[in-house]
Chain A
């Protein structure tokens, strides 16, 4: 996604769109206040009482994961770049096997509220929790900024607003809503918001996919043919190379991106803490299976949406899809298959899809804010500052203050961040998650010798390396599209750091472990192993 969205969509359905947006806000606020009455303990606030079924959490995981970048960005990239636009979604889906096979159940059994809980299980609390909280907050803030910048641009696009002042107001409103969801609703409220969003997203996507396929007699081959012809690029539109790998650097860049996407998901803190909301490891497994089914079907449908937009809506220079960097593809396609601009059907579908996009943004930002606030309160406040002596009551006060603070910081950062490329922010979040968090989690679960120094080294090593490489990449300087186009310190050629920073994170964890003399963590490994594989002594669901 990019922020360069200048031409607003048709304004005929603006009243309807605003009405549906308000309905989304009303429903989510109702859920939040319902949840606030049913949240009493820390386990309620942080983990939704661990009472969500596998299916419910599977929907919520999907709702947490499928951001506006997925919904509008991928279909838009397919509409503009054909086959290459599809590649993002493959990495995003395959990544779930890492979560299913290696992380979800073991984490559910051995952790409590945050990612740091799992890492600190057999380590010295203060250094490991500080490191894990730092990377949790960094990853979540990058991801949050991407969503909020996207929100400003998208809502502007969907409501037909172009003024920068109004976009800022939209960002502030989204920020205020997410603070309300998280402060009052906690994990329970956030989870239900994500469930509602996931249902809306799936229903909306199935509907538009069906209407597109009807136009092509359910013949995917014919859809591809028309899309290739209308794109003006012919068969090349259906082949690799429209977006990635145009030269050798580009090819390595694509490899780097592919690695970050597939290894990043299982290190994203806002995804990891969702596994704590189920009563057992079995339910955590079922939720990943549901998520794989839902996310996989969704990405298959975006293939139809993307090629459908290329076939049915103009995508050439000066078109609305082109100037919105693809983000307008799904809404415009909805309008087209509903009967076209100015028709009742077209207006209704455009408004519905816009409301789905809005709900998508709200659900994702709420999950990210909750994750950061939980880490501040549970890791930094309760375990680092208070050294485990904080009362549950004070922790629950701090987590709300933290949610407010993080929401405020996100609003303040998002307004100037509007000139950043959103795809870059998301890719950076995935790269840090894959380089800093995943090595520490995997070593902790499967390597007996792993210790405090190893955990601290891998987290800070992966985090610092990813951020450094991006700072000295063409993303930040040296090209006309860079953050600082005038400056020139881009000695690292790749836009995505994963190819270097992920192996570096693993190497740091390995070296740090070997140079430490700590034996305590290895003595506790059998215990962690029994607990994570059997669930013996694992946290139980809250019974009200």
Chain B
């Protein structure tokens, strides 16, 4: 195991840690709480990313190839293109709000518990 004082500083940053730390990390990775944390995180982050990317690309595509639709006036001078552009702001704010709420309620308690466990095991 190479560390900072070793002349062979070749492999990862992770290798500078004491051996015991690796064991603690790997033990936490197998815990059901961690598996659950990772599942909850990915189950929000990935679908949300696919959703907002699809919503954004569809908007770009319609700006290019659906101009008659985009030009339809909704109220006075405000057309669908403008409304959809403003809805991109609304969707961004909304996804950010729901991610923050999800993280606070479902992710942070598990992460804090596992972090405390790591600190105890490694005496930090």
Contact = CB atoms under 8 A, between A and B. Distances in A.
B92 A97 contact: yes
Nearest to A446: B42
B4 A388 contact: yes
Interface string B82-124: 1001101100110110011001000010110011011100101
A86 B79 CA distance: 14
Given A254-B60, A535-B111, A239 B67 contact: yes
A289 interface: yes
B12 A521 contact: yes
A258 B61 CA distance: 10
A438 B18 CA distance: 30
A255 B117 CA distance: 47
A332 interface: no
A93 interface: yes
For chain A, which range describes its interface: under 10, 10 to 19, 20 to 34, or 35 or more residues? 35 or more
A537 B17 contact: yes
A533 B25 contact: no
Contact of B14 (A228, A241, A527): A527
Given A90-B56, A97-B95, 20 more contacts: A86-B85, A90-B85, A94-B92, A97-B92, A100-B96, A101-B49, A112-B13, A122-B13, A124-B11, A124-B12, A125-B11, A235-B79, A238-B79, A239-B70, A241-B67, A255-B60, A299-B89, A387-B7, A530-B25, A535-B111
B51 to A, nearest CB: 10
B119 A536 contact: yes
B29 A526 contact: yes
Nearest to B24: A536
Contacts of B49: 97-98, 101-102
Given A101-B49, A528-B14, A83 B82 contact: yes
Which 4 pairs of residues, A with B, have the shortest CB-CB distance? A536-B118, A526-B29, A388-B9, A221-B76
B56 A262 contact: yes
Interface in A484-531: 520-521, 524, 526-531
Contacts of A83: 81-82, 85
6 contacts: A97-B48, A124-B12, A221-B77, A254-B63, A387-B7, A530-B34
Contacts of A387: 7, 9
A524 B12 contact: yes
Given A125-B13, A387-B9, A529 B99 contact: no
B13 to A, nearest CB: 5
B98 to A, nearest CB: 11
Nearest to A126: B10
**Chain B interface helix/strand/loop/mixed:** helix
A258 to B, nearest CB: 4
Contacts of A241: 67
Contacts of B96: 96-97, 100, 288-289, 292
For chain B, which range describes its interface: under 10, 10 to 19, 20 to 34, or 35 or more residues? 35 or more
B14 A122 contact: yes
A244 B63 contact: yes
Contacts of B4: 388-389
Nearest to B44: A101
A123 interface: yes
A387 B70 CA distance: 57
Nearest to B75: A221
A258 B56 contact: yes
B92 A93 contact: yes
B64 A254 contact: yes
A232 B26 CA distance: 67
A239 B93 contact: no
A534 B109 CA distance: 10
A245 interface: yes
Contacts of A340: none
A534 B114 contact: yes
A238 B71 CA distance: 8
Contacts of A285: 100, 103
Nearest to B45: A101
A238 B77 contact: yes
A117 interface: yes
A224 B75 CA distance: 11
A411 B115 CA distance: 46
B109 to A, nearest CB: 11
B75 to A, nearest CB: 7
Contacts of B48: 97, 101
A536 B26 contact: no
A30 interface: no
B12 A123 contact: yes
